[in-house]
Amino acid sequence: MSNLYKQRGVSADKEDVHKAVKDLDKGLYPKAFCRIYPDYLAGDDAFCNIMHADGAGTKSVLAYLYWKETGDISVWRGIAQDALVMNLDDMLCVGSTGPYTYTSTIGRNASIIPGEVISEVINGTQEFIDEMAKHDVDIHFLGGETADVGDVVRTMIVDGTMMARMPKNEIIDSQKVVPGDVVVSIASFGKAVYEKEYNSGIGSNGLTSARHDLLKKKYAMDFPEAVDPHLNKDVIFNGKYALTDKADTMENIGKLILSPTRTYAPLVKKVLSTLGQKVNAIIHCSGGAQTKCLHYLPDNVRVVKNNLIAPPEIFTRIQEAVNTDWKEMYKVFNVGQRLEFYTDKGSAEEIIGMANELGLDAQVSGYVEAADKKSLLIESVYGSFEYE
């Protein structure tokens, strides 16, 4: 898959990006999940500022295809949620629980993306924010920018920026993780009490592979505007499915792939208000998926994940499409669990109970042990895989 990623114009490891930013200021807590800086806004040394930027990525291409094929314009509301949650849930990992401010940045090709689609994205953002308010998650939508950039963007891209201010003594920077801690994984699929329908668990990572490995070649021919014309035709839309083909757990394959990224904000807020400093790290398994922890945990530990939640339908379909090695699957996709808590065994049971109350499956999926060099071992029914 790594080779396919490159052929499709995607860098799986983003080594060039990491090299470009290596000399930039890493902030107050260099190993924290988000960049954290002094309280420039109010100048209070007891507080800090957090700002994060992310987006829905290439998932918007799938939304475009689904909208054009079915006429269901509401699918764009899910893209609004994807962009917001990819910011929100990263910020949760440093202990930030709001209030938050959020602005959106939309780039579109105005010749094919009409105002009605923009309206769905903007109103979908507010709709999600209003739903989160019912669960004591305070987000303020401050507008944003919509740019007509048809020479740059073939369809549409939806991004956002989120900001929060919080006390320094509440920061979680992941360096507190110690041997003996356990890993609690929270499922990315199912139906939480704050979700309107079943969530496939796909999130907003690995969608370039999901799109081309699952969907039929006809999409490249019917919608050439959704494909980079410079790509080798052998690596695009190689799958066997149409978006409207029936799925096992959702209405169809399109809805399965486009299921909006789940937020864990209601759970994290509840966990931190109850357990506070007993939580040593929170990892959002987005880019890098199950290997994401390697970027943030201390250098003298080994993480062993030997009890991961079984993959839901979306990931088994992706894996079977091109017989992707499971070692690669765990590196590209969350594979059924997108949030991890690192804590003691007693607190782990409390977290699982809180998750279950919100309709979220959760379980102790692994543990932390001492090591000379930071590494990760995944032991699964598909094999044992080492990562460094």
Report the run of H or E that residue 92 belongs to, with start and end: helix 75-92
Q: What angle do CA 57, 135, 34 make, to 5 degrees?
A: 45
Kindly indicate the confidence band of residue 228, based on its pLDDT and cuts at 50, 70 and 90: confident
- Please list, in sequence order, all residues whose beta carbon lies within 8 angstroms of the beta carbon of residue 20, skipping any fewer than 6 positions away: none
Kindly indicate the confidence band of residue 270, based on its pLDDT and cuts at 50, 70 and 90: very high
* SS3 call for 68: helix
Given a cut of 80, whether residue 166 has pLDDT beyond it is yes
The dihedral region occupied by 363, where left means phi > 0, alpha psi between -120 and 50, and beta the remainder, is beta
Q: 115-133 and 75-92 helices cross at what angle (nearest 10)?
A: 50
The span from the CA of 266 to the CA of 4, in Å, is 37
| Percent of all residues in the chain with a pLDDT value above 70, rounded to a whole number | 96
Encode pLDDT of 177-212 as tens digits.
999 999 999 999 999 999 999 999 999 998 998 999
pLDDT at position 43: 94
pLDDT at position 119: 97
The span from the CA of 12 to the CA of 60, in Å, is 19
* SS3 call for 355: helix
The span from the CA of 103 to the CA of 162, in Å, is 7
Encode pLDDT of 7-47 as tens digits.
766 665 666 766 777 777 788 998 899 999 999 989 999 99
pLDDT at position 16: 72
Q: What is the pTM of this model?
A: 0.94
Kindly indicate the confidence band of residue 2, based on its pLDDT and cuts at 50, 70 and 90: low
- Bigger pLDDT: 317 or 20? 317
Burial of 267 (0-12, 13-18, 19+ CB in 10 A): buried
Lowest mean pLDDT among 13-17, 217-221, 223-227, 308-312: 13-17
Q: How far is CA 171 from the centre of its chain?
A: 21
The span from the CA of 215 to the CA of 176, in Å, is 44
pLDDT at position 276: 92
Average pLDDT value over all residues in the chain: 94
Encode pLDDT of 107-134 as tens digits.
999 999 999 999 999 999 999 999 999 9
Instruction: Give the DSSP per-residue string, 263-311.
Output: P-HHHHHHHHHHHGGG--EEEE--TTGGGGGGGTS-TTEEEEE-SPPPP
Burial of 133 (0-12, 13-18, 19+ CB in 10 A): exposed
pLDDT at position 1: 56
The CATH number that domain 2-387 falls under is: 3.90.650.10
Given a cut of 60, whether residue 88 has pLDDT beyond it is yes
